[in-house]
C-alpha cells in the first residue's frame, strides 16, 4: 500500500507544478518595457478647428512586437492629466487618445477616451510602463516645442529614437489638424522672409514696407558717392591646450615666498598669453593678468610665483581658473580638503590631479616617489567620486551640522550630487547625430543648472553652457545630444569636465578606447562600458565573466561581491516568464527530493 501511495505522489507532484504555472494570470507575464519602446508621437494641445476642447494625443509603438498597455500610465507633472492606458498596440502602429468623447476626430475611431485638459502654455508629460519605469517624456514646462494655436497645426515627433524631453525631437505639423493615426508630416515649410534692400524702380517692394516704387525712385537718381573701403579686422583665435599643471599651496618654508602655480603649453607652437587671467576661487580671491610679452614655448612650462601674482593659495581647500582674454574658461583645478604640507597638487597624463612629494616647477610632473614614500597612516588623497550611499550620508551629516549652526553658516550656492552619469562616444550610427552626454541629479530636490558648463579635455576643446532656465528634477536625468552641445567625443582618448557657475569642478571623467555601440556608465563610484544604452534612465552594467561575476579556481567557481551585484541586477531586469520557469524548476527539484525521502522511509520501515 505504501508503494502505491509513493507512485501516486510521483504522478501528482509534476501535475501540481503544471497547474501552478497555468494559474499565473497573463497580467503577471507582462514584461517591463525599454526606454522609447513606446513614445508620445503627436499632441493636439490646441484642439481642432471645430473646437479648442477637441484635444487628442497619439502614441507610437517603436518595436517589432505588440505591446500590452494594461497598467501603463500617461500623466502630466502638475496632475491635471492622468490616463490609465488599456488594450494592445500593434508593432509599429499608432494608438489614439481623444478627450471626453469619440467626436473629437469624427472620421477616425479613438483607441481610448480620457478626461483632463492640456494647458496652452505647456505641460510636462511622462509615460510609464506597468512596472512604473519611465519610458518616454515631453518636457514642455517652458512652452510647447511645436504646434500653432491659431492655425491648429499640431506638435509632431520628428525623431522617435531621441528622448522626447529635448527640443530637437519635435516639429510643427505641415498642415492644420496634423496626422492622427498616420505617418507624421515633413514639418512646416519655412516661409522666405522679406529681406529689406534699397527701393528701386522695378515694380517690387524692395524695402519691405508694403509700398512699391515710392519716393520717386523711378526718377533718374544721382550717382551715389563711392564708399570708402573699411579695413577688415581679423578675429583673434586663442589656443585651448594651455593647462594648470601644478601648484603648491602649503610649502614647507614660507608660504609668501615659496607658493607657486605652473602652467603647461601642449601646443606645438609658442603661445602669447598676454591678457590671460588666472584667479583663485576660495577665501579672499585674487585675479592676476599676465603682462605684455608673456609667452610659453611649445610644449613648455611657465611658473608663476606668489610674490608676482599676489594669489594666496588656501591650505584648506582651493581652486584655480585659467581664462583667455575673452573671458572663456580654458582650464580649472581644485582640491576640496586640507593640503598636504610640502606636496604639490599636480596633473597626471590622464588629466586627473593628485598630490605628489616631487615638486617639479618648470618640468614634467613625477608621481612614482610619492607612491613609495607615503606612509600607510596618511594615504594619498585622489580625486574620486562619491557613491550614492556615501553622498547621501554626507548630505545627511551636512544637513545636521547646518541646522546646528544655522546662524553662523549659510548653505552652498551650488549643491553636490550633480554628476556625469553616462556618455556615448562611439555610437553604431553617425557620431554627429547619435553621440550624447547624460547628467544625473542625486539630490531629493530640483536643481537649477543655468550657467553650468561642460568641457571635453582632448583634441579640439569645446565648451557648452547650459542655457538660462535649465533645471533637473530630483533623481532625474538630463540627456544632451551632440547636436545641442557641439562637443565631439573622441573615440580613442577623451574626457569631460562638469563645471559650476563659480568655476568649481563638480565632476569629471576620462576614458581611453571607446568600443563601438557601448556607453561609458557610472556604476556606483566606478565607471564601466556597457552594451545596454540607457539615456534618461538607470544605468545597466554588462556582466563580464573574468572581472565582475567571478573567477575560476581548481574545482570551484568564485563569485565576487561585485559580480553578485551585477548578476542580481540582471535577474531583476529579466523577463517575468524566466522568473516563472525558475520557480517551476525549483518545485520540480523539491518534488524529486520528497519522493526520494519517501522511498527511503518505506524501505527502512
pLDDT in tens, 398-429: 444 444 444 443 445 799 999 999 999 999 99
pLDDT in tens, 333-367: 999 888 999 899 999 998 999 999 889 999 999 98
pLDDT in tens, 412-471: 579 999 999 999 999 999 999 999 999 999 999 999 999 899 999 988 788 899 999 999
Indicate whether 188 pLDDT > 60.
yes
Q: Say what percent of the chain tops pLDDT 70.
A: 78
What count of Cα atoms within 13 Å lies in the side-chain half-sphere of residue 77? Answer: 13
Higher pLDDT, 339 or 372: 339
Cell numbers of 120, please? Answer: 496652452
Confirm whether pTM is higher than 0.85.
Answer: no
Class of domain 38-176: mainly beta
Q: Say what percent of the chain tops pLDDT 90.
A: 54
Name the average pLDDT for the chain: 81
Output the pLDDT for position 459: 81
pLDDT band at 104 (very low <50, low <70, confident <90, very high): confident
Mean pLDDT in residue range 224-241: 79
Indicate whether 504 pLDDT > 60.
yes
The verdict on domain 418-530 having CATH code 2.60.40.1260 is: yes
pLDDT in tens, 291-340: 999 999 999 999 999 999 999 999 999 999 999 999 999 999 999 888 99
Output the pLDDT for position 32: 60
The 10 Å CB-count burial string (b at 16+, else e) for 535-545 is bbbbbbbbbee
Cell numbers of 363, please? Answer: 618640468
Strand order in the sheet with 170-176: 112-114, 94-99, 56-61, 38-44, 153-157, 170-176
Output the pLDDT for position 548: 38
- Report the distance separating Cα 498 and Cα 506, nearest Å: 5
User: Quick one: 480 exposed, middle or buried, by C-beta within 10 A (0-12, 13-18, 19+)?
Assistant: buried
Indicate whether 587 pLDDT > 50.
yes
The 10 Å CB-count burial string (b at 16+, else e) for 295-333 is ebeeeebbebebeebebbbbeebbbbbbbbeeeebbbbb
- CATH classification code of 242-373: 2.60.40.1260
Using CA atoms, how far residue 557 sits from 259, 362, 545, 546, 548, in Å, is: 54, 52, 11, 11, 13
For Cα atoms 63, 69, 75, give the angle at the middle one, nearest 5 degrees: 105
Cell numbers of 605, please? Answer: 520501515
Output the pLDDT for position 362: 93
Output the pLDDT for position 580: 59
Output the pLDDT for position 204: 76
Using CA atoms, how far residue 73 sits from 84, 102, 123, 537, 602, in Å, is: 5, 20, 16, 17, 57
pLDDT in tens, 38-59: 999 999 999 999 898 899 999 9
Amino acid at each position: 500500500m505504501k508503494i502505491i501511495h509513493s507512485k501516486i505522489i510521483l504522478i501528482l507532484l509534476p501535475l501540481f507544478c503544471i497547474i501552478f504555472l497555468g494559474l499565473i494570470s497573463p497580467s503577471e507575464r507582462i514584461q517591463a518595457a525599454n526606454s522609447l519602446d513606446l513614445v508620445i508621437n503627436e499632441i493636439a494641445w490646441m484642439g481642432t478647428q471645430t473646437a479648442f476642447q477637441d484635444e487628442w494625443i497619439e502614441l507610437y509603438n517603436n518595436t517589432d512586437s505588440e505591446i500590452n498597455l494594461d497598467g501603463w500610465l500617461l500623466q502630466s507633472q502638475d496632475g491635471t492629466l492622468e490616463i490609465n492606458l488599456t488594450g494592445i498596440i500593434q508593432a509599429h502602429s499608432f494608438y489614439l487618445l481623444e478627450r471626453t468623447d469619440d467626436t473629437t476626430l469624427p472620421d477616425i475611431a479613438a483607441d481610448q477616451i480620457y478626461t483632463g485638459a492640456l494647458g496652452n502654455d505647456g505641460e510636462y508629460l511622462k509615460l510609464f510602463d506597468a512596472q512604473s519605469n519611465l519610458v518616454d517624456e515631453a518636457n514642455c514646462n517652458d512652452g510647447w516645442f511645436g504646434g500653432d494655436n491659431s492655425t491648429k497645426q499640431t506638435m509632431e515627433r520628428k525623431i522617435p529614437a531621441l528622448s522626447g524631453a529635448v527640443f530637437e525631437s519635435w516639429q510643427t505639423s505641415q498642415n492644420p489638424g496634423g496626422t492622427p493615426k498616420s505617418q507624421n508630416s515633413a514639418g512646416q515649410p519655412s516661409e522666405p522672409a522679406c529681406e529689406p534692400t534699397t527701393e528701386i524702380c522695378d515694380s517690387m517692394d524692395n524695402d519691405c514696407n508694403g509700398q512699391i516704387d515710392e519716393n520717386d525712385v523711378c526718377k533718374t537718381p544721382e550717382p551715389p558717392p563711392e564708399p570708402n573701403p573699411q579695413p577688415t579686422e581679423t578675429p583673434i583665435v586663442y589656443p585651448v591646450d594651455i593647462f594648470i599643471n601644478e601648484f603648491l599651496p602649503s610649502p614647507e618654508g614660507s608660504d609668501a615666498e615659496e607658493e607657486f602655480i605652473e602652467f603647461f603649453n601642449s601646443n606645438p607652437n609658442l603661445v602669447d598669453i598676454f591678457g590671460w587671467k588666472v584667479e583663485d576661487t576660495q577665501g579672499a580671491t585674487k585675479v592676476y593678468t599676465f603682462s605684455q610679452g608673456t609667452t610659453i614655448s611649445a610644449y613648455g612650462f611657465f611658473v608663476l610665483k606668489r610674490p608676482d601674482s599676489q594669489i594666496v593659495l588656501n591650505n584648506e581647500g582651493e581652486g584655480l581658473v585659467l581664462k583667455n582674454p575673452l573671458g572663456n574658461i580654458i582650464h580649472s583645478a581644485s582640491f576640496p580638503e586640507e593640503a598636504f604640507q610640502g606636496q604639490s597638487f599636480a596633473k597626471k597624463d590622464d588629466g586627473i590631479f593628485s598630490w605628489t612629494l616631487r615638486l617639479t616647477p618648470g618640468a614634467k610632473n613625477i608621481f612614482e616617489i610619492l607612491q613609495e614614500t607615503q606612509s600607510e597612516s596618511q594615504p594619498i588623497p585622489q580625486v574620486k567620486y562619491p557613491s550614492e550611499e556615501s553622498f547621501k550620508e554626507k548630505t545627511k551629516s551636512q544637513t545636521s551640522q547646518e541646522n546646528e549652526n544655522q546662524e553662523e553658516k549659510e548653505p552652498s550656492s551650488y549643491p553636490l550630487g550633480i554628476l556625469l552619469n553616462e556618455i556615448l562616444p562611439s555610437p553604431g550610427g553617425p557620431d554627429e547625430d547619435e553621440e550624447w552626454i547624460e547628467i544625473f541629479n542625486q539630490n531629493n530636490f530640483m536643481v537649477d543648472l543655468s550657467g553650468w558648463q561642460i568641457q571635453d579635455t582632448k583634441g579640439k576643446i569645446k565648451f557648452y553652457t547650459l542655457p538660462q532656465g535649465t533645471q533637473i528634477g530630483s533623481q532625474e536625468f538630463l540627456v544632451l545630444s551632440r547636436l545641442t552641445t557641439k562637443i565631439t567625443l573622441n573615440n580613442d582618448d577623451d574626457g569631460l569636465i562638469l563645471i559650476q557657475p563659480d568655476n568649481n569642478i563638480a565632476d569629471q571623467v576620462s576614458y581611453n578606447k571607446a568600443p563601438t555601440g557601448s556607453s561609458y556608465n557610472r556604476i556606483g563610484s566606478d565607471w564601466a562600458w556597457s552594451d545596454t544604452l540607457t539615456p534618461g534612465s538607470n544605468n545597466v552594467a554588462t556582466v563580464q565573466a573574468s572581472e565582475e561575476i567571478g573567477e575560476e579556481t581548481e574545482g570551484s567557481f568564485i563569485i565576487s561581491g561585485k559580480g553578485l551585484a551585477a548578476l542580481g541586477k540582471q535577474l531583476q531586469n529579466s523577463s517575468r516568464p524566466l522568473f516563472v520557469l525558475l520557480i517551476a524548476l525549483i518545485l520540480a527539484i523539491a518534488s524529486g527530493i520528497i519522493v526520494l525521502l519517501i522511498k527511503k522511509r518505506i524501505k527502512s520501515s
